[in-house]
Structure 1
């Protein structure tokens, strides 16, 4: 069962995704105003049971960012061996992972436009797997880490490249432009560690494969990410960790191959689905 946040006829819903359309679940679970509330309550199994006995309610829908009210999104940077080499600085694999925050306002939903702002033409793509925390905790061991994951989704962690160089020690400015990235299309409940251990990320721009790698090759595996992050902050249900992107982002070509209006970006992850967006310039 997959779950999404979506809009129809000017109203916002969360519900179950089927081949025929969406099954709205808001009215059946009034104690959970949003999908985030259901995640925080450990309610995805209950949503699945409820949806199993209901008909499709919406066929004409627009996907929203899958958890549009997510309060905390942490991203892991430079997490594949070839990505480290792309920087051409002669550095070895780092001892500790790079981390930076993103905010929900920087993401849009599946099949909605990625927005290139007038201040820059350096909009880039980064296909990644994102995990949603279902059980909070502090100082979580790697052995227990997977027990804290509620669901998986896909992220295109869009970046305005020249704005990540505006300061010496941070990339926050280039990572948080409104609707510069996307997340979705849906949440897939996490039930099998093999979903992650065998996950493959493929990013295409206009049908051309730009990124193609396995999560098993990450320098800091997801178990380690959860362990490390939960050392300095208490993870809470609903937190999102964006786990890292493979080599092949547009900035690393010579010359760079940034996104332009009309480009179609697809991020496919086996066992989760495909996240698709077209690029548009910001309208005045």
Structure 2
């Protein structure tokens, strides 16, 4: 199934898509797509639910996210384009949950930004508490999958000391959605085509088949170091084509438009604006 949250910022309601792609309201079934409900998402007769009129704003498909965890340099071809050796273990960083926005909300360049960049990524949403889980059992703890644009200010990230979190956590730097797709509907999570276009021109092209550390390995690995709770989201890395890897580098400017898609997970669109 494809679950969504729709409505104005901070007032999103739960919904689900029917077979034709129409949005149906889930408000009478569950309060929100968040917390423990992710361990047992409702199996309902979608066609019996009321249809939502118009084209409301889509929010992030998961509410009350506790942790937004990033995995760095997790694609062989991306590591090569930026001139770095593939890591021997997953590189972990955190993005502030205050960076999370809806899939089509604007991305705002923070004051002083000179090297803001794009990164289409597969997002893994935890459904059941995971602590010390094996790789064999890891996917049983996943509620579903979504798209994350891991927007990154590279100068903040790598030139100002400290950790990557500085360049990853700016307001609006975490567009998520449009859908939360359950594993049974998505199929093979390690065989998904990924694309990102900038102003209608190809930028990123890749596949989750090129991950260095697959989804099951990442979930298991993280669970050895921290408990993963329902609603935690893991952004699992990006394929080649980021701005810092271009020759010469190309970074985001006010007025740019990013469009992202992952097979089976829908698409995002963000206009780039300058923060006040």
Q: Do they fold alike, i.e. is TM over 0.5?
A: yes
Q: Is contact 1:131-1:241 (8 Å) kept? A: yes
Where 1:57 maps in the other structure, the secondary structure is coil
Where 1:198 maps in the other structure, the secondary structure is coil
**Which residue number corresponds to residue 52 of structure 2?**
57
Q: Is contact 1:8-1:58 (8 Å) kept? A: no
Partner of residue 251 from structure 2, selected from 250, 258, 262: 258
**Which residue number corresponds to residue 28 of structure 1?**
29
Match status 1:17 vs 2:10: no
Of residues 130-139 and 150-159 in structure 1, the stretch that sits farther from structure 2 once superposed is 130-139
Match status 1:107 vs 2:100: yes
How far is 1:193 from its partner? 7.3
What is the TM-score with the length of structure 1 in the denominator?
0.89
Partner of residue 149 from structure 2, selected from 153, 156, 165: 156
Q: Distance in 2 between matches of 1:9 and 1:267?
A: 21
Q: Distance in 1 between matches of 2:177 and 2:68?
A: 14
Q: Distance in 2 between matches of 1:270 and 1:172?
A: 28
Q: Distance in 2 between matches of 1:136 and 1:10?
A: 25
Q: Distance in 1 between matches of 2:158 and 2:189?
A: 32
Q: Distance in 1 between matches of 2:37 and 2:118?
A: 28
Q: Is contact 2:122-2:148 (8 Å) kept? A: yes
Deviations 1:37-60 (A, max 9, x none): 3644x232x2x4053311203323
The CA RMSD measured in Å over matched residues stands at 2.1
Partner of residue 132 from structure 2, selected from 131, 139, 147: 139
Q: Distance in 2 between matches of 1:197 and 1:255?
A: 31
Where 2:175 maps in the other structure, the secondary structure is strand
Q: Distance in 1 between matches of 2:209 and 2:185?
A: 15
Q: Distance in 2 between matches of 1:222 and 1:36?
A: 21
How far is 1:9 from its partner? 10
Q: Is contact 1:65-1:182 (8 Å) kept? A: yes
Q: Distance in 2 between matches of 1:267 and 1:104?
A: 21
How far is 1:25 from its partner? 1.6
Q: Is contact 1:39-1:238 (8 Å) kept? A: no
What is the TM-score with the length of structure 2 in the denominator?
0.91
Match status 1:217 vs 2:210: yes
Q: Distance in 2 between matches of 1:234 and 1:199?
A: 27
| Count of paired positions | 275
- Contiguous gaps of at least 5 residues in structure 2: none
Q: Distance in 1 between matches of 2:155 and 2:104?
A: 26
Where 1:232 maps in the other structure, the secondary structure is coil
Q: Distance in 2 between matches of 1:193 and 1:278?
A: 28
- Contiguous gaps of at least 5 residues in structure 1: none
Q: Is contact 1:213-1:246 (8 Å) kept? A: yes
Q: Distance in 2 between matches of 1:192 and 1:55?
A: 22
Match status 1:43 vs 2:40: yes
Deviations 1:71-114 (A, max 9, x none): 1111100011122223325x3x3211111011222122122111
Q: Distance in 1 between matches of 2:10 and 2:213?
A: 42
Match status 1:95 vs 2:125: no
Of residues 10-19 and 212-221 in structure 1, the stretch that sits farther from structure 2 once superposed is 10-19
Q: Distance in 2 between matches of 1:274 and 1:135?
A: 26
Q: Distance in 2 between matches of 1:68 and 1:279?
A: 24
Partner of residue 268 from structure 2, selected from 267, 271, 275: 275
Relative to structure 1, is the Cα distance of residues 102 and 9 closer, same or farther in structure 2, using a 3 angstrom cutoff? closer
